[in-house]
Amino acid sequence: MEEDAEMESLGDAAYGLFEIFLNRGLKERGRYLFERVESNEDFFADFKSIFLEFERDYGMLADALTESFESVEALYENFRAGEGVIPSKTHRMYWIVLDAPEKTAAGSPVDSAEADVKEKETDGDSDGEDAEEEDKGGKWLVFADADEADELWRKIRDATAANDLGIWAKVSTAKALPESDDNRVVIYVSTADWSDEKDVMEIREKLRALGVEKRIGYKRNIETYQGEYSEGGKKVTYYSA
């Protein structure tokens, strides 16, 4: 039973990292995963090529994926059905993540996911604590009811992909977070530097234009790393607007 649980955990990690790897590879070949799925494009040739690259770089994780799916074709059809694209149709991973293509900064979920997997594969020591101390990022926290979240995520995702919002965005999915008892969907919209109030507030105004009109909070990554959450009335947001 313990081995089964470990394999399931590895399979989940493999799936999440492959989605990131796939999205990046598809973008390098012309268009993001969500663009291809939403236009009903047949992109199996690119998909298979990217899977072979993933297999070369992350052999153990590729093996875990093939344990979960009967074939590369079955894995492909799973993504074509909306997994990893539409929050309400994503049941295999907790988050859908998108980096802005022309913006980079410490603390990206994409880079963190890759670093975590590489550390597990090599059993090496992590320098994550140093990265956390240097991370000046933060994020606006947007909560949405489940019946509104898919459309709101689409707007935020598209703006992020167009380099017209933050440095990255991510959304919770239909796979319920184990530590959460909140039925709402949460979307994070990250900025590079919490101390750059002008940039932070410009992104807030862009979110307002996308339909996020209620007051929302901004949390620095520093507080996230320290495990500080708004429990018992404790305030952990740095800005509110």
Residue-wise pLDDT tens digits, 137-154: 999 999 999 999 999 999
Tell me, yes or no, whether 62 lies in a domain: yes
Tell me, yes or no, whether 96 lies in a domain: no
If asked whether residues 130 and 232 sit together in one domain, one would say yes
Mean pLDDT across 175-187: 80
Name the percent of the chain lying above pLDDT 70: 76
Tell me, yes or no, whether 197 lies in a domain: yes
Tell me, yes or no, whether 91 lies in a domain: no
Task: Assign residue 147 the CATH number of its domain.
Answer: 3.30.760.10
Name the percent of the chain lying above pLDDT 90: 59
The mean pLDDT value of the chain amounts to 83
If asked whether residues 67 and 114 sit together in one domain, one would say no
If asked whether residues 183 and 142 sit together in one domain, one would say yes
User: 0.85 exceeded by the pTM?
Assistant: no
Q: Decide if 84 contacts 93 (C-beta within 8 A).
A: yes
If asked whether residues 113 and 194 sit together in one domain, one would say yes
Structural domain span for residue 65: 2-85
If asked whether residues 79 and 154 sit together in one domain, one would say no
Number of structural domains (the chain) is 2
Tell me, yes or no, whether 188 lies in a domain: yes
Mean pLDDT across 209-231: 81
Least confident of 67-76, 121-130, 174-183, 203-212: 121-130
If asked whether residues 68 and 133 sit together in one domain, one would say no
Closest to 29 measured CA to CA, from 60, 8, 7, 50: 50
Q: Look at residue 149 in the predicted model and tell me its pLDDT.
A: 96
Sign of CA dihedral 133, 192, 25, 142: positive
Residue type, 10: L
If asked whether residues 154 and 64 sit together in one domain, one would say no
As a whole number of angstroms, the distance between CA 140 and CA 191 comes to: 8
Q: Look at residue 238 in the predicted model and tell me its pLDDT.
A: 87
Q: What is the pLDDT of residues 77-112, one digit of tens each?
A: 999 999 999 999 999 888 999 999 876 554 555 555
